[in-house]
Amino acid sequence: NAGVTQTPKFQVLKTGQSMTLQCAQDMNHEYMSWYRQDPGMGLRLIHYSVGAGITDQGEVPNGYNVSRSTTEDFPLRLLSAAPSQTSVYFCASSYRGGGADGYTFGSGTRLTVV
């Protein structure tokens, strides 16, 4: 089925380890974004991209890197995991400005840093 696929669904990391959260969409959407969701804080934008080769920082970018080499993929890299990065991460995509259908979200990655 068409949509946004996030892997892995669950991950436990030790402090200082690095990892990449994968996000792929097959809808040819220009826009892709990463969010983290924490209790009481809502969904906060980490990084976003308006097309291949173009990325920009959101509200909470520190500790995370992104790249957008293809339209389909938008991986999120944690450089050196910290307990403060324990969260649920969501990836989303859309046509420009939301298009006619708005944003589509992946099912999330639940990350625990110990």
Partner 1 sequence: KQEVTQIPAALSVPEGENLVLNCSFTDSAIYNLQWFRQDPGKGLTSLLLIQSSQREQTSGRLNASLDKSSGRSTLYIAASQPGDSATYLCAVIDDKIIFGKGTRLHILP
CB of 16 to partner 1, least distance (A): 28
CB of 43 to partner 1, least distance (A): 4
Q: How far is CA 11 from CA 20, 35, 52, 53, 79, in A?
A: 11, 16, 27, 28, 15
Complex with partner 1: residue 64 or 90, whichever CB lies closer = 90
CB of 110 to partner 1, least distance (A): 9
CB of 80 to partner 1, least distance (A): 26
Q: Which residues of the shown chain bind partner 1 in the complex (CB under 8 A)?
A: 31, 33, 35, 40-43, 45, 48, 50, 58, 90, 92, 94, 97-98, 100-108
Contacts of 96 (CB under 8 A, 6+ apart): 30, 31, 50
Half-sphere exposure of 24 (CA within 13 A, CB side): 8
Complex with partner 1: residue 35 or 64, whichever CB lies closer = 35
